[in-house]
Amino acid sequence: MSLGKAVLEGDRRALARALTLVENQHPDAEEIVRDIHGHTGHAIVVGITGAPGVGKSTLVDRLAGHFLAAGRTVGILAVDPSSPFTGGALLGDRIRMEGRGSGVFMRSIAARGQLGGLARSTPRAIQLLEAAGRDFILLETVGAGQSEVDVMGYADTTLVVVAPGLGDDVQAFKAGILEIGDIFVVNKADRPGADQTARELRQMLSLGPRRAWRPPVLSTTAQTGEGIGEIAEAILEHKASMERDPEVGVRHLHEAERFLRQAVAEQLADAAVARAKASGRWAPLVEEVAHRRKDPIWAAREIVSGEER
Amino acid sequence: MTESANATRPIRVLVGKPGLDGHDRGAKVVARALRDAGMEVIYTGLHQTPEEIVEAALQEDVDVVGLSILSGAHNTLVPRVIELLHAQGLDDVHVMVGGIIPEEDAEELRKLGVVAVFGPGTETEEIVRFTRSCAREA
């Protein structure tokens, strides 16, 4: 049986193996993705983002437990940064996870040099979990800067998690996250300052453009499980609201276009670089760029066109 | 495609602490050394059951499982992990053990299929070298 078919039948080992092949951009991954593609698109994908230390992992674990108790299956993708120097990564999101057996399938993913808080393989990893029959997919980002913006493209619902006492609140809220959050979570609500953080968030959100969906601000103490049920409800409400939204079709088209464009860019880039390396042009061009004898944009043109300039 | 496929195939290692002892300094030092050697290290934290470790190894599709045990319970914990790995069909996952393991016990563990037992004072370079040699083909 092909690996793709085994994934569709819920074989967890096959799923784990397929995730590895997709992550490694192994040639066999193409066939797997082709086999499963028709069986994707039905899961609810929830992106969880926010600064380091706000409690994303604990929140993800409690949400997983909540959905599991409701008889649903859960997949988790937790992305952590790779070292830009060695390529290695320390993936520690499992530390916060309680043993939930095989009802929750969790995969730790190293970003492998991809900026934006997610790994290049993320869209395909989501598809694999969907094909394996997971009802909810929780996608936890690296939690730094840009990541918030990327996660929005992959998730049906984006949770932005903040915590009180992490410096200047207004500063934390201005970096684009107000626009992308569908649900805002003030975690560690048992700490001093939590009410004020929630108040400020609501105030800033009320200044934004009026949309059909008004992002709620919910308070949780993930550690104890306080407020988790409300988040789960809000996720389902948001999903229902999106299905009523007439603009949702347009947004799906935009998303599909973005994915396709990205996939084209990646394939062209891989092919062009491989060609340049094979012809021996790559290393000298890198050197010329490093010594500022050539502009990287012009060097790229040479690689893409295959002609020397 | 082949280009990037060859360029990125980091070894994946799970570092786990089964059992009750709360000393994870050694495990963290090893995890850090393996990461600095370019590997992707999944650290599971303290107080894991053998069942949790094996389920994590399956989901994370690791090449190697490293168990850190300082409690003296290695003679029960390690055989259980190996038994569960086989039960899940994870026969190609290599198991290494680190901790305070008397030599006669280490010999028994090796007979069970443990590929290496590292005692106190082992150089991290040695562990890195050995872990590399355990990497899977594909």
Tell me: pLDDT of B1 over 50: no
B14, part of any domain: yes
Higher-confidence residue: A161 or A113?
Answer: A161
Tell me: pLDDT of A124 over 70: yes
Can you give the pLDDT at residue A253? 83
**Closest-CA residue to A172 (of A162, A180, A187):** A162
CATH topology for A41-245 is: Rossmann fold (3.40.50)
Place B6 in a pLDDT band, splitting at 50, 70 and 90. Answer: very low
**Closest-CA residue to B88 (of B60, B129, B123):** B60
Identity of the amino acid at A117: G
Chain B neighbors of A274, CB-CB under 8 A: 1-3
Range of the domain at B108: 10-132
Can you give the pLDDT at residue A169? 56
The fraction of chain B above a pLDDT of 70, given in percent, is 93
Chain B neighbors of A12, CB-CB under 8 A: 58-59
* CATH code of the domain containing B83: 3.40.50.280
| Interface membership of B59 toward A (CB under 8 Å) | yes
Tell me: pLDDT of A133 over 70: yes
Domain count, chain B: 1
- Interface contact flag, A86 B35, Cβ < 8 Å: yes
Tell me: pLDDT of B101 over 70: yes
Query: Tokens 């563990």 label which residue?
Result: B109
Tell me: pLDDT of B4 over 50: no
Chain B neighbors of A86, CB-CB under 8 A: 35-38
Place A116 in a pLDDT band, splitting at 50, 70 and 90. Answer: low
The fraction of chain A above a pLDDT of 90, given in percent, is 50
Kindly report, residue by residue over B20-59, the tens digit of the pLDDT: 888 888 899 999 999 999 999 999 988 899 999 999 999 9
**Closest-CA residue to B12 (of B49, B47, B38):** B38
Tell me: pLDDT of B67 over 60: yes
Place B135 in a pLDDT band, splitting at 50, 70 and 90. Answer: confident
Place A166 in a pLDDT band, splitting at 50, 70 and 90. Answer: low
Average predicted confidence (pLDDT) for chain A:
87
Chain B residues 19-58 with CB within 8 Å of chain A:
31-32, 34-45, 48-49, 51-52, 55-56, 58
How far is C-alpha A208 from the chain's CA centre?
24
Can you give the pLDDT at residue A170? 58
B5, part of any domain: no
Region A214-238: what's the mean pLDDT? 95
Region A59-81: what's the mean pLDDT? 94
Can you give the pLDDT at residue A183? 95
**Closest-CA residue to A122 (of A112, A133, A134):** A112
Query: Tokens 């935009």 label which residue?
Result: A254
Query: By CB neighbour count within 10 A (0-12 exposed, 13-18 middle, 19+ buried), where does A235 fall?
Result: buried
Cβ atoms within 10 A of the Cβ of A53, count?
A: 10
Q: Do A135 and A43 form a contact (C-beta atoms < 8 A)? A: yes
Cβ atoms within 10 A of the Cβ of B120, count?
A: 10
Chain A neighbors of B89, CB-CB under 8 A: 13
Mutation target for B interface from A28, A94, A102, A137: give the one with most B CBs within 10 A: A94
Place A117 in a pLDDT band, splitting at 50, 70 and 90. Answer: low
- What are the extents of the domains in chain A? 1-39, 41-245, 253-305
DSSP class per residue in B74-136 = HHHHHHHHHHHHHHTT-TT-EEEEEE---HHHHHHHHHHT--EEE-TT--HHHHHHHHHHT--
C-alpha span between A94 and A104 (Å, rounded)? 12
ipTM of the complex: 0.90
The pair of three-digit structure tokens given for residue A241, joined into one six-digit string: 């609201």
Can you give the pLDDT at residue B138? 57
Mutation target for A interface from B1, B32, B131: give the one with most A CBs within 10 A: B1
